[in-house]
Structure 1
Amino acid sequence: MDHLSGLDAAFLHLESPETPMHVGGLSILELPADYEGDFMEDVRTHIQNRMHMAPIFQRKLINMPFDIANPIWVMDEAIDIDYHIRHVIVPPPATRGSVDKLVARLHSSLLDRSRPLWEMHILDGLPVPSDSPKGTRYVGLYSKMHHAALDGMGGQVLMEAIMDVSAVPRAVNKRKRRRESARADNYGIAELTASGVMHNISQSIKLTKNMPKLTLKALAMLRPTKSPDGSNAHRMNWLAPKTPLNATITNQRSFARFSIPYAESKKIAKLNNVSLNDVVMAISGEGMNRYFKDEGFYAKEPLLAAIPVSVRPEGNTELSNQVSMARMSLATNIKDPLERLQAINVSSTHTKTLMSDVKAIMPTDFPSIGAPWLVSSIASTLTRTRVANSVPPFANVLISNVPGPNITLYFAGAKQISTYPVSIPYHGMGLNITLQSYNGWLDFGLISCQKLMPDIHELAQHMKDAHQELLELSLKAHPEADVSEN
Structure 2
Amino acid sequence: MRRLSALDASFIYLEDDHSPMHIGGVYLMDAATAPKGFSYEMFHAHIRDRLASSRIFRERLVEPPIGLAHPCWINDPGFQLDRHLPRLSLPAPGGRRELMHVAAHVFGEVLDRRRPLWSLSFVEEVNGVDGFAPGSYAMISKVHHAAVDGGSGVELMAALLDISPVPGRVEHDDWQPEEIPGSLALVGGAWAGMGRKSKELGQVLGEVARGAARIYGARRAERIDPPPTLLSAPRTRLNRAVSSSRTFWGTDFDFERYRALRRQVPGVTVNDVVLCQCAGALRAYLAERDELPRKSLIAMTPVSVRQERDRGKMGNQVSAMLADLATDEPDPLRRLLRIRRGTTGSKVYASAMPAHRIAEFIPSETLAAAARVYTRMRLGGRHRPFFNLIITNVPGPSTPLYLAGARLGAQFGMAPIIDGLGLMVVVLTHAGRLSISLTSCYRVVPDPDHLAHLMDAALIDLERSVAAAPADSLRIDDEDLPDAERGDDAAPALQRLRRASRDLDRAIATLDRRLRE
TM-score, length basis structure 2: 0.83
Q: Cα distance 1:130–1:163, how it changes in 2: closer, same or farther (>3 A)?
A: closer
Deviation at 1:275, TM superposition (A): 0.5
Aligned counterparts of 1:229 and 1:388: Cα–Cα separation in 2:
35
Deviation string 1:450-470 (CA, Å, 9 cap, x unpaired) is 222111211111111000111
Which amino acid is 2:167 matched to? P
Structure 2 partner of 1:89? 89
Structure 2 partner of 1:439? 431
Structure 2 partner of 1:152? 150
- Which sections of structure 1, spanning at least 5 residues, go unmatched? 482-486
Instruction: Report the 3-state secondary structure (helix = DSSP H, G, I; strand = E; otherwise coil) of the residue aligned with 2:294.
Output: coil
Structure 1 partner of 2:71? 71
Aligned counterparts of 1:408 and 1:93: Cα–Cα separation in 2:
28
Structure 1 partner of 2:57? 57
Structure 1 partner of 2:502? none
Deviation at 1:263, TM superposition (A): 0.4
Out of 277, 292, 299, the position equivalent to 1:283 is 277
Structure 2 partner of 1:293? 287
Out of 262, 276, 292, the position equivalent to 1:269 is 262
Which amino acid is 1:307 matched to? T
Structure 2 partner of 1:423? 415
Structure 2 partner of 1:351? 346
Structure 1 partner of 2:486? none
Aligned counterparts of 2:224 and 2:208: Cα–Cα separation in 1:
27
Instruction: Report the 3-state secondary structure (helix = DSSP H, G, I; strand = E; otherwise coil) of the residue aligned with 2:86.
Output: strand
Deviation string 1:125-164 (CA, Å, 9 cap, x unpaired) is 123456666xx53211101000001123422331221111
Deviation string 1:272-314 (CA, Å, 9 cap, x unpaired) is 1200000000010110000001111121111100111123345
Aligned counterparts of 1:305 and 1:137: Cα–Cα separation in 2:
39
Deviation at 1:424, TM superposition (A): 1.3
Deviation at 1:58, TM superposition (A): 0.8
Deviation string 1:203-228 (CA, Å, 9 cap, x unpaired) is 3553476469759979x99xxx9xx8
Structure 1 partner of 2:494? none
> 5 Å matches for 1:322-333?
322-333=317-328
Out of 243, 246, 250, the position equivalent to 1:257 is 250
Structure 2 partner of 1:454? 446
Structure 2 partner of 1:114? 114
Deviation string 1:366-413 (CA, Å, 9 cap, x unpaired) is 344314741443233442xxx333421011110000000111110122
Structure 1 partner of 2:174? 176
TM-score, length basis structure 1: 0.88
Deviation at 1:425, TM superposition (A): 1.4
Instruction: Report the 3-state secondary structure (helix = DSSP H, G, I; strand = E; otherwise coil) of the residue aligned with 2:467.
Output: helix
Which amino acid is 2:387 matched to? A
Aligned counterparts of 1:115 and 1:141: Cα–Cα separation in 2:
20
Structure 1 partner of 2:186? 192
- Which sections of structure 2, spanning at least 5 residues, go unmatched? 474-517
> 5 Å matches for 1:98-113?
98-113=98-113
Aligned counterparts of 1:200 and 1:16: Cα–Cα separation in 2:
30
Instruction: Report the 3-state secondary structure (helix = DSSP H, G, I; strand = E; otherwise coil) of the residue aligned with 1:365.
Output: helix
Aligned counterparts of 1:131 and 1:310: Cα–Cα separation in 2:
33
Instruction: Report the 3-state secondary structure (helix = DSSP H, G, I; strand = E; otherwise coil) of the residue aligned with 1:418.
Output: strand
Instruction: Report the 3-state secondary structure (helix = DSSP H, G, I; strand = E; otherwise coil) of the residue aligned with 2:232.
Output: coil
TM-align CA RMSD: 3.0
Structure 2 partner of 1:398? 390
Aligned counterparts of 2:211 and 2:192: Cα–Cα separation in 1:
29
Would you say the 8 A contact 2:151–2:304 is kept in 1? Answer: no
Deviation string 1:223-257 (CA, Å, 9 cap, x unpaired) is xx9xx89999x866752000011111111111111
Deviation at 1:65, TM superposition (A): 4.0
Aligned counterparts of 2:240 and 2:131: Cα–Cα separation in 1:
43
Aligned counterparts of 1:293 and 1:77: Cα–Cα separation in 2:
54
Would you say the 8 A contact 2:317–2:356 is kept in 1? Answer: no
Aligned counterparts of 2:232 and 2:72: Cα–Cα separation in 1:
36
> Which stretch shows the higher mean deviation, 326-335 or 156-165?
156-165
Q: Cα distance 1:261–1:131, how it changes in 2: closer, same or farther (>3 A)?
A: closer
Aligned counterparts of 2:203 and 2:41: Cα–Cα separation in 1:
53
Instruction: Report the 3-state secondary structure (helix = DSSP H, G, I; strand = E; otherwise coil) of the residue aligned with 1:284.
Output: helix
Structure 1 partner of 2:42? 42
Q: Cα distance 1:201–1:242, how it changes in 2: closer, same or farther (>3 A)?
A: farther
Deviation string 1:71-113 (CA, Å, 9 cap, x unpaired) is 1111124322221001111111223112111111110010000
Q: Cα distance 1:374–1:443, how it changes in 2: closer, same or farther (>3 A)?
A: same
Aligned counterparts of 1:188 and 1:322: Cα–Cα separation in 2:
29
Q: Cα distance 1:212–1:157, how it changes in 2: closer, same or farther (>3 A)?
A: closer
Q: Cα distance 1:215–1:253, how it changes in 2: closer, same or farther (>3 A)?
A: farther
Matched, 1:15 2:12: no
Would you say the 8 A contact 2:398–2:431 is kept in 1? Answer: yes
> 5 Å matches for 1:376-387?
376-383=371-378, 387=379
Would you say the 8 A contact 1:96–1:127 is kept in 2? Answer: no
Aligned counterparts of 2:131 and 2:423: Cα–Cα separation in 1:
34
Q: Cα distance 1:198–1:299, how it changes in 2: closer, same or farther (>3 A)?
A: same
Instruction: Report the 3-state secondary structure (helix = DSSP H, G, I; strand = E; otherwise coil) of the residue aligned with 2:101.
Output: helix
Q: How many positions carry a matched residue from both structures?
A: 465
Deviation at 1:5, TM superposition (A): 0.6
| Structure holding more helix per residue | 2
Would you say the 8 A contact 1:277–1:401 is kept in 2? Answer: yes
Aligned counterparts of 2:416 and 2:456: Cα–Cα separation in 1:
22
Aligned counterparts of 1:237 and 1:213: Cα–Cα separation in 2:
22
Deviation at 1:35, TM superposition (A): 4.5
Would you say the 8 A contact 1:214–1:362 is kept in 2? Answer: no
Structure 2 partner of 1:163? 161
Which amino acid is 1:451 matched to? R
- What's the % identity of the aligned pairs? 28
Aligned counterparts of 1:204 and 1:88: Cα–Cα separation in 2:
50
